[in-house]
Amino acid sequence: MLGAPLTAADAEIFEDTVVPRYLSFFGALAAEMLFPCPQAQIAHLGCRTGYPDTSIAEKVPECLLVGVDSSAPALDLARARASLNSRMRVSYELADSFPTILPEFGFTHALALHPICDAEGRSALLSELHRVLVPGGQALLALPLRGSFPEINDMIREYALRQDLTELGKAVDLAVQSRPTIETVSEEFENAGLTEVDVDVQLIAVSFTNGREFLDDPIAKLMVFPELRSLLAMDPEVAIPCMKYVHDAIGKYWSEGVFELTVNVGCASGRRL
């Protein structure tokens, strides 16, 4: 539920590449929407290497921030980063399932960025955000909304059409439709007991020199393709040749031209009743 554990090498790459070029769009929206309050206590679920905890600490001085993640190396890196900022009061703990070790009614704010999960997993995540909040506390969830990654979805559809895999084509369409919109993410928040929902959206394009650069980039390997696989839930016998086709097609179609990854970045905010 909190993402596959990162190795030590992946944690370094995540911090150096994924955060500044990709995750920063999600973190900036979340930090901007966070309500400042005195004596804030903030839970960060799936915190990875601790981004955007520094930005939050600057916006909410004297806050206490607790992060949980499934990756020990990522948490080590988060602790090392936090130690360089004497104004930050943080604690990072290992957790890999819900409910986490975080106490109920323990936090004024709870957030998660770009969870790698399907709609069912997102529901569990929202329930956990709700569980750890005090009454009136704020939940923040930043994630790709509907309209994200159409370039890759089109390649999967092309593979399904060429191989006459009708069910895969339907699965792609279902995955696209299951990605939340402003309206559906608001409904999900309300179903989890979170009210006063507000959603901010920013459409971005992350550019790569060519298709091969995108495929080799940690953004694709650690974020985009794992997230797509979680939505599609394909049988391995279908997934392996399909992903090979997608990789080959992107590398071929954008062999000499810029590849732009379209992402509909959204952040939803809600309050616990």
pLDDT digits (tens, 9 = 90+) for 179-193: 999 999 999 999 999
Q: Give the residue-averaged pLDDT of 1-27.
A: 94
Domains located in the chain, CATH noted = 8-272 (3.40.50.150)
Position 174 confidence tier, pLDDT thresholds 50, 70, 90: confident
How far apart, in whole angstroms, are the C-alpha atoms of residue 266 and residue 217? 22
Closest CA to 123 of 200, 193, 48: 193
3-state helix, strand, coil in the chain (%, to 5): 50, 25, 25
Q: What is the pLDDT of residue 1?
A: 64
Q: Are 46 and 38 in contact (CB under 8 A)?
A: no
pLDDT tens digit sequence for 213-236:
999 999 999 999 999 888 887 778
What is the Cα–Cα distance from 31 to 87, expressed in whole angstroms?
A: 17
Distance CA 70, CA 6 (A): 8
pTM above 0.85, yes or no: yes
Region for 139 from its dihedrals, namely left if φ exceeds 0, alpha if ψ lies in -120 to 50, beta otherwise: beta
- CA 211, CA 230: separation in Å to the nearest integer? 22
Q: Taking 80 as the threshold, does the pLDDT of residue 2 lie above it? A: no
In the chain, the amino acid numbered 112 is A
Tokens representing residue 43 in the block: 């839970």
